[in-house]
Every structure is written in C-alpha cells, then in structure tokens.
Structure 1
C-alpha cells in the first residue's frame, strides 16, 4: 500500500472518529424512541429514519445506525464540496449534515462560501444554525461551537 493511500485512509478514519465523537456527544444515546425538540420520532444517536414510537434497539443496533447515518453524511459532504477538506473540517461538516440534512446543507450559504474558497466565512456560518422551529436551543449552540472549532482547525488566527 502506498504512503499516499495510507494517508488518505488515515485521514478518512480520523474524520470518521472525530465526527462520531461529536455526533454521539451531542445526540446522546437513547435506545428507546423519543420525539426530538421539533417533534420528529428519533432513536439511538439521533437517527430519524423509520422510527416507530415505542421502539427499542440494542446498543449494537444503535452503533450500526450511527455508522450508516454518518456514512450518508460524509457522502453528502463529498458530493457537494468542491475542494479538498482536512479531516477535522470534513468531520465538522459531516456532523452538521447529520443534524440538519443534506438538502439544507446543499442550499446553505455555508456551502457556497466554502466552495468559493472562503473557508473562515463558511465555518463562521455554523453559528447561525442554532434554531429549531424558531427557538434557539442551548444544545445546538454548544454543538455548533464544537463543529466550528473543528472546521477552523488549521487556519491561521
């Protein structure tokens, strides 16, 4: 295996590890279905697809859903971002997409600025995404601050 290939794999693993840490910390582990702050049925680590209220899943099933959902989030980032991303920035964006969805990311000013080469301005956009149904949520403020810090990693102050 070439050094370049090892670096790419290491970078991808690093991004996945970072994103998993951020998502699992801010989503929390809930093996039984619940409604999120805007009323969407949710389970495990913020999974929202095919969730039935009253449903309970094992930790292993929840980890599998987290891996699948994060894989989808990374795929969305890779589809829409036209520039190379260091692992920390890629992780921050995957966490963001995991939370808000690909559609909102694809239409965001954040993405437009990132693809225009305005990295700091793009990362700063994360601070705007702290509302759910018009209500500012403390958990989103903390999550976006963590994502922004990752996004800005490596940029000059």
Structure 2
C-alpha cells in the first residue's frame, strides 16, 4: 500500500514543482534547438561531450562549433557535424562567408533511430578528434586557427539532448 502511495506522489504535481524550482531555472535547458557558450573557447586538451537519443524517425541532426553567435553576419563555423539518415555523416567548416570542402568518409554510420549515443569532440593542436560511444570515428583538421574564438555550440535536428559537458 505504501508503494502505491509513493508512486502516486512521484507521478503527481510534486515532481513537476521540483522541476520549476529557482535552482532549475539557473541551469541551461537541454531543448533542441540548443545554443550555448563554450567558456573560454576551445583549446588543445579540451573536450565537449554531447549525450542524447536519436528520434524514432530521424531525417538529420547537426552539431556546430561556432565563432560567436550573430544573425546579422553569419559567424564562422569551425566544425559542423551533420548526421543524415540512414547513413551519411558530413563534416565541414564555414569561413569568411563560404563553406569549405565536405568530408564524408566514415568506417560505419554510428547512429540508430530511437537509441542513445555519446559523442565526444576532443580538441587537439592540429585537429578535432571525434568519438562516438567511445570509438574514434574520424578526425577533422582545424580550419579556424584561433581555437579560443570557437566559443558557441549549436545543436538542432531530430534528437533529444540528455547531457552536455
């Protein structure tokens, strides 16, 4: 009997009230589309972790590391990762108003509809090294040389975010 009462309390308004507490409002919401600052910009040794769940019927999603966040003049994009289902994972950069050459080769497509994933972007001196679920998938050599200028992450498309770090 106590178990049923506990379940009812957890499913009821108490849980919702705890989510709207002042402490929770100070935390960034992990809703898609997502835009957030990268404190101090990128530098060798720094890594970004994106954890999420691919939507059940996805078309695509993108994760971009940008230099600033301006709608007036488009910011440079140091790294754009675009997963297009069922099997493409494109990387590129946008510099001085122009997209560079796309990189598309991958040993396998790592994302499965309705399944969780962990994507890590490791910043090294000459490249970003991308890991999915602990396995290195590819490298992307820096096209933006001032790594500290890379200070914004943007995520949008057919996924739910569960954690950013």
TM range, smaller chain: under 0.3
Task: Decide which structure has greater strand share.
Answer: 2
TM-score, normalised to structure 1, is 0.27
Higher relative contact order, structure no. (Cα contacts within 8 Å, ≥ 6 residues apart) = 2
TM-score, normalised to structure 2, is 0.26
Task: Decide which structure has greater helix share.
Answer: 1
Larger radius of gyration: 2
